[in-house]
Amino acid sequence: MAFLLFAIQYGFAEEGVPLMRPDGSTITFYLDKKGGRHLLVLMQGSDCNSVVHSKVINDRFAAVIGDADVLTVEKYALTRSVPWNGSGDSPECPASYYEHDSPRQRADDYLQVMSWLDEQLEYDNIILLGGSEGALVAAMVASRSDKVSAVITLNGGGRFFVDDVFYSMSVDLPPEAFEQATQGFLEFKGAIESSESMTFVMSGHGFRWWKSMLAADQTELLLSVSAPLLIIQSELDKSVSPKLAYDQARMLMKNRNNVEFRTVKGLDHKFHDPSGKDRTSEVVSSVKEWLGDNQITSEIR
């Protein structure tokens, strides 16, 4: 029987009791307990870095609901001992991360931790917020849980990952190089989809990650979410396609009445403006406004 072993300290993210995956490995998670009745679940992007060191997540987005307990979950094999690299993957990224990490694995981990925490603390509301790859993970989790009260996705792109990859290539490459790169990627995609296992690391990720990303249908996942859903997309994003994000949102809004789409003008994938200024605070304010409008925050209840 699992006991509540994490310290109940207010305003301090404490590492939770180790939970075991089916393969025997440990899920590492952190709970910043504020004493409120909401659980805010934050999901980072695709880099190999310990989430506990991310100031954007733990200082900025953690503030979208002032009195919420804040949950973050490490990716497979990552712990706070993995040094932070603000410009890319940690130089000490474990080999087992490349072998096991994937959006599907992350969703499984979040669902396991959320279920365990909710049994212990019985939250009134569970709110998911994920950015970039974390947006897809949030969609995966919400599509499999009836306990989720609201979902916020940030710069998650369009329906299929391959189309966002092609968009990113088109931004960075001249036409001739783009045609060659897309052909090469389609061959790579075909090899992944026809294989059950491969050993490689490409663009900081292994086979399971690529298999999961290429198989995911983000639109279908979001169509299955009944909770209020806010989709935010940066206008100047070069990592995922703003147009594809809008097309997806338009389709969702045509079929469901729980979806709102907001474009953040003049900002890139990391919410920086063309001068390099960080304007994440504006996105946080937008999320706060939406949560209030949907009567999810305790101030409205």
> Under 8 Å CB-to-CB from 24, ≥6 apart: which residues?
none
Predicted confidence at residue 287, as pLDDT, reads 98
Q: What is the CATH number of domain 14-159+213-293?
A: 3.40.50.1820
Do 203 and 219 meet the contact criterion of CB atoms below 8 Å apart?
no
Do 283 and 237 meet the contact criterion of CB atoms below 8 Å apart?
no
The b-or-e profile of 121-132 (16+ CB within 10 A means b, else e) is eebebbbbbbbb
Name residue 10's beta-bridge partners: 33
What is the C-alpha end-to-end distance of the chain, expressed in Å? 34
Do 141 and 123 meet the contact criterion of CB atoms below 8 Å apart?
no
DSSP, residue by residue, 36-95: SSEEEEEE--SSSS-GGG-HIIIIIGGGSSTT-EEEEEPPTT--TTSPP-TTSS-TT--H
Residue 66's CB: how many other CB atoms inside 10 A?
Answer: 14
Predicted confidence at residue 12, as pLDDT, reads 47
pTM of the model: 0.93
Do 9 and 30 meet the contact criterion of CB atoms below 8 Å apart?
no
Tell me the pLDDT of the chain (301 aa) as tens digits.
Answer: 333 333 333 344 677 778 999 999 999 999 999 988 999 999 999 999 999 999 999 999 999 999 999 999 999 999 999 999 988 999 999 999 999 999 999 999 999 999 999 999 999 999 999 999 999 999 999 999 999 999 999 999 999 999 999 999 999 999 999 999 999 999 999 999 999 999 999 999 999 999 999 999 999 999 999 999 999 999 999 999 999 999 999 999 999 999 999 999 999 999 999 999 999 999 999 999 999 999 886 443 3
Do 48 and 90 meet the contact criterion of CB atoms below 8 Å apart?
yes
Residue spans of the domains in the chain: they are 14-159+213-293
- The two tokens of residue 152 are 């916020």
- The two tokens of residue 136 are 């897809």
Predicted confidence at residue 176, as pLDDT, reads 93
Do 73 and 109 meet the contact criterion of CB atoms below 8 Å apart?
yes
One-letter amino acid identity for 71? L
Half-sphere exposure of 262 (CA within 13 A, CB side): 16
What is d(CA 147, CA 260) in angstroms, rounded to the nearest whole number? 20
Predicted confidence at residue 101, as pLDDT, reads 99
